[in-house]
Amino acid sequence: MRLLYLGDVVGRSGRDAVIERLPEIRRRLETDFVVVNGENAAHGFGITPKICEEFYAAGVDVVTLGNHSWDQREIMPYIDGDHRLLRPLNYPAGTPGKGVGVYPASRGRKVMVMQVMGRLFMDPLDDPFAAAERELAKVRLGPGGMDAILLDIHAEATSEKMAMAHVVDGRVSMVVGSHSHVPTADHRIFTGGTAYQSDAGMCGDYDSVIGMKKDAAIFKFVRKIPGERLSPAEGIATVCGLLVETDDRTGLAARVAPVRLGGRLAECWP
């Protein structure tokens, strides 16, 4: 099975690039399942029901969120009714929405997707390691269980992301990091068979400060006083992500490769 994960979509530029290019990407890479992180899709902060529907129409199977999950108020009453939209699993009990789901893929196969949010330099949520363990205790990867399991860890610290991957190695198909908006060069398959990358990067304009217009972002660093509100850069976006091909016998990774298309970064087709 071929799983494609696309990193944080930032603003209109990122949305347009993903929506325009995803049908071609799915055909060319023969992907079976696509997950997109959409937590910065609505002008850089959160997501709206309309944007979710646009992603689904373009070929996205599941949308994950993160620390900006609730920035758009209209998502609060919507998320409970959209089983394909996931917020971090380790939000406190009673938070709207859910952090894990099982979804159909081609040829009757099943894909489990879950997301956790890290705690280092982030909001102090519940333990992401314990949350992941609780869900993995309910299922198994391979014959008679899930055909693939994808874990999105939305976190600031690469150490926390990497620790999570080692903890679940051999029990999920892939662990991919989101949030930092910079694609890392450490894509690999761990000894237990789980594919990993510390951060898939963003889908957005890289002539920016992690997707935001340069001048306002630089002002905040240089002057350290309130200034113009950050807003997404509007140039040509790069679509960044990770492709993982699994072994149908085990559900573990057989191949992992980065995806970088268009914009300012060096292009990389798997």
Catalytic residue positions?
68
Cα–Cα distance for residue pair 85/176, rounded to 1 Å: 17
Cα–Cα distance for residue pair 43/258, rounded to 1 Å: 26
Cα–Cα distance for residue pair 15/55, rounded to 1 Å: 8
Cα–Cα distance for residue pair 68/87, rounded to 1 Å: 9
76 SS3 class: helix
Q: Confirm if 89 and 128 have CB atoms less than 8 A apart.
A: yes
Cα–Cα distance for residue pair 182/225, rounded to 1 Å: 26
Please name which of 59, 270, 66 lies closest in space to residue 177, comparing C-alpha atoms.
66
With a CB cutoff of 8 Å and minimum separation 6, the contacts of 9 are: 15, 18, 36, 37, 38, 40, 41, 202, 203, 204
Q: Confirm if 28 and 243 have CB atoms less than 8 A apart.
A: no
141 SS3 class: strand
Q: How far is CA 85 from CA 140, 187, 251, 254, in A?
A: 22, 26, 23, 27
Question: How crowded is residue 64: how many other Cβ atoms within 10 Å of its Cβ?
Answer: 26
Cα–Cα distance for residue pair 40/31, rounded to 1 Å: 24
Q: Confirm if 113 and 64 have CB atoms less than 8 A apart.
A: yes
